[in-house]
A and B are shown apart, each in its own frame.
Chain A
Amino acid sequence: MLKVQHIKKSYSTTTAVDDVSLEINEGEMLSLTGESGCGKSTLLRIIGGLEKPDSGSVFWEDQNISNWKPEKRKFGFVFQNLSLFPHLTVEKNVFFAISKENRTNKKLNELLGMTGMQGYEKRYPHELSGGQQQRVALARALAIDPRLLLLDEPFSSLDELVKEKIRKEVFDLLKELNITTIMVSHQAFDSFLMADKLVVMKEGRVLQTGIPIDVYQNPSSQYVSNFFGASVIIKGTNDQQKAHTSFGDIAIPNLPDKFSLCIRPENIVINTKDDYDISGIVKEKLFKGPHDVLTIQSPKMDEEFNLETERCSHEIGDPIFLKVPKDKILVFQ
């Protein structure tokens, strides 16, 4: 449906988007993610027509719409900062772009019903909470029957507690309505909940594209791996097509000469001293609500690393024995 080809955009000194191409199919939800400044928002604004690319094209159903004004594209936009029109009531905000004759009660009830905002028709934005404002903003974008919905950090201005709930509701609604959506988020885990496709960007370029779980389990680079959470780096050298580590050799097909190994901390298992790969000492222990976080120092590792565990009996100074499942080790060039 939407195709983006070789988009480039730079501002006076920085390159915001550097030769990005991507595609999204009908009903899909695509999530653009990466650290702030990676160009994801600029890319979204280019798709929405709010920004003009230096080169490259945007296609909608094989029609080049690169030069279309935003008002012609019929793409709904929901912004990070809950930009409801402060001088209009909820009802007038939702009906902002709807012609007088199409402003029916049925339509209003439908839109507010979907977003759980029925009964708030006559309120002004400043009388609503952040979460409520975001619901109205969504209803307003849905009111025009958008061909594509663009969400720019839609949840980042909400409280942690509300965020989880609204995110779930919004995603469920968009799936139910089968609306094609592109969402930008700098928080990696915003994307995982329901996105069909995940695009990780860095410095204006796409690093990896795929189904969220695949990207998480098989990150293409150390950067992507780190972006989705801490990883423990393991030292290793190439020893006749085997990765030689301090706790044994690991057979890895097509192992390049230069590589790095790491493992997600949640895959490391605390074991007994009879069967372990790494031993170490608990340097610190932090109580973190439902679980504990242990900081471990091991002679086999370069750096101390953190391990999140269930409540455990290890205390500071205790020896600890860890098992590293070899099939969970990630290899990067």
Chain B
Amino acid sequence: MKKLGGINIPSHSGWRLLGIITVVILLLPIWFVVSNSLSIETESWQQSVPRLLPLYLKNTSFLLAGICLISLLVGVSTAWFVTVYDFPFRKHFEWILILPLSIPTFINGIAYVGLTDYAGPIRIFLRSIGTDVYLDVMDHQGAIIIMSLVLYPYVYVASRAAFIMQSVSLIEVSRSLGQSMVKTFFKVSLPLSWPIIFSGLILVIMEVLNDYGVVQYFGIPTFTTGIFRAWLALGDLQTAILLSLVVLLFVLFLVVLDTFIQRGRKTSNENEDQIATRIPFQLKWVPFTICFLPVFFGFIVPVGQLIWWSILSSTSQVWLQSIEFMGNTSLLGLLSGLVVLFLAIVLSYSNRLTGNHWSSKTFSKLSMLGYAIPGAVIGIGIVTFIIWLNPNWIYSGIIALVFGYSARFFAVGYGQTDSGFQKIPSQLDDAASSLGKNSLTSLIKIHLPILKPVLIGGFIMVFVDIAKELPLTLILRPFNFETLATNAFQYAKDEMAPKSASSSLLIIFVSSIPVYFLNKIIK
């Protein structure tokens, strides 16, 4: 180490080591999928690939294409109207449009199936007026619409942030040059916002890849159901790993693609002037309707159906059970949330102390990869890891689950923590060390108290993601251990959907909390 006036600059090698260990732990599940896929015998390749891959590929890409298209249409158009135009209830729509995000895809699927089946309110009503129609939402198109209805908010939030950031004078210049608002949108606003909108779209794609509930319930074979079938039903770990690898490669491709698109991003270099006066829309109920429909079908209808069910099936036993599952969910959320925060603090602080070394930057990016990877893939990775440790161990358990959740949702907590750390001026660290405090003391006495609100926010977001998680939980949960999500899914699968309503409603209630944070972040 260099000597500066006789003072040793601390190398913080201990912190650096801790940071590296953190990243290694988080990447273990992914590493086990990749490394094990190398050792798969060719026989297995030849058997499973030609048989399964085309079908999974076809279904998954069909779902992805449809959901991306609808999410883009709904998310971008609502964001455009809410940001640029003035119409009734505009201000409220800003956050109401995010609400459908609080409904996990599989719960929306359950609700819509219930809504349209024989005992559902639509057909009861039709029969009461002397007619009946057979409605079936349990096919590809149904899955596309049902998932789009709760996933479009990712695109909405991204688009809205992009439109807000855009300098309003660009729109005004375009109009003064004789371009209508429609032309301005396509020639100026959309091309400029596209990179940000695309990162929202990537989240949609990852949610679709992650989804197990809807496709399993609707009987659509995709990669995720394939992984499940291979492992849980057939005990064929090799095929499961193989399928996971395909998904992993696709996700990696998306991450690389996103990096390229973000690099091409053109920003205006002036101080951005945000939209102050919104343009009154002449037919003011048109934008109102465009914004209201997704909220109606993506939130009000499914929640209404769930409430109706929960009234129908309301017994003290159902609620007592739900409270027990709530306890299980909370236990997992609490443990994993704390683990994520602990690891996030270690990694952020280690990066802060050891400076902007390229290795630490790359490392922390890698640690966030888990968020992009479907829960089923992480689940298989952990199973493989545990079997590698000791083939006789039971791979499912609370510890395995907490590990899985932490690996998958680390990015959520880390993103919050790290941006919080970056807002603390480094002079504070220097001041502390000049007063003779060592790095651990200043972390506990200075950084953590300052970061408290950020840490709480990060914790809540991780907690909510865990409450909504299904596939990872299904693979790694201990025998007979039910969370709200697994309970809701199990009842629906067993044709007892009304009984799942109370658990579903509890998940939606908990998940609505971060909507508040999200809306604050984009402002």
Residues of A within 8 A of B (CB): 48-52, 69-77, 79, 81-87, 96-97, 124-126, 137, 140-141, 143-144, 150, 157
A79 vs B175: C-alpha distance when bound (angstroms): 13
CB distance from A101 to the nearest CB of B (A): 16
B174 within 8 A of A: yes
CB distance from A24 to the nearest CB of B (A): 17
Q: Which residues of B contact A48 (CB under 8 A)?
A: 172, 176
A141 vs B172: C-alpha distance when bound (angstroms): 12
B271 within 8 A of A: yes
CB distance from A102 to the nearest CB of B (A): 13
CB distance from B367 to the nearest CB of A (A): 32
Q: Which residues of B contact A51 (CB under 8 A)?
A: 277
Which residue of chain B lies nearest to A76 when distances are taken between CB atoms in the complex?
A: B176
9 shortest A-B CB distances, which residue pairs?
Answer: A77-B176, A97-B177, A81-B270, A83-B169, A86-B266, A70-B175, A87-B266, A86-B268, A79-B169
CB distance from B478 to the nearest CB of A (A): 53
Interface residues on B, range: 20 to 34
The answer on a CB contact under 8 Å between A69 and B169 is: no
6 A-B residue pairs with CB within 8 Å:
A70-B176, A72-B178, A83-B173, A96-B187, A137-B173, A143-B177
A49 vs B175: C-alpha distance when bound (angstroms): 9
The answer on a CB contact under 8 Å between A83 and B269 is: no
Main secondary structure of the interface of A (DSSP, over half): loop
Most buried by A among B167, B178, B268: B178
CB distance from A166 to the nearest CB of B (A): 17
Which residue of chain A lies nearest to B188 when distances are taken between CB atoms in the complex?
A: A85
B262-306 interface code vs A (CB 8 A; 1 in, 0 out): 000011111101000100100000000000000000000000000
The answer on a CB contact under 8 Å between A97 and B169 is: no
User: Given contacts A74-B178, A96-B177, A141-B177, is CB(A85)–CB(B170) below 8 Å?
Assistant: yes
Q: Which residues of B contact A83 (CB under 8 A)?
A: 167, 169-170, 172-173, 268, 270
Which residue of chain B lies nearest to A82 when distances are taken between CB atoms in the complex?
A: B270
CB distance from B168 to the nearest CB of A (A): 9
A70 vs B169: C-alpha distance when bound (angstroms): 13
Which residue of chain B lies nearest to A75 when distances are taken between CB atoms in the complex?
A: B176
A27 vs B396: C-alpha distance when bound (angstroms): 83
B10 within 8 A of A: no
B179 within 8 A of A: yes
User: Given contacts A71-B178, A71-B179, is CB(A77)–CB(B172) below 8 Å?
Assistant: yes
CB distance from A333 to the nearest CB of B (A): 38
Which residue of chain A lies nearest to B192 when distances are taken between CB atoms in the complex?
A: A87
B180 within 8 A of A: yes
Q: Which residues of A contact B175 (CB under 8 A)?
A: 49-50, 69-71
B355 within 8 A of A: no
Q: Which residues of B contact A77 (CB under 8 A)?
A: 172-173, 176-177
CB distance from A10 to the nearest CB of B (A): 13
CB distance from A68 to the nearest CB of B (A): 11
The answer on a CB contact under 8 Å between A124 and B169 is: no
Which residue of chain B lies nearest to A92 when distances are taken between CB atoms in the complex?
A: B187
A79 vs B170: C-alpha distance when bound (angstroms): 9
- Contact partner, B177, options A49, A81, A140, A157, Cβ 8 Å: A140
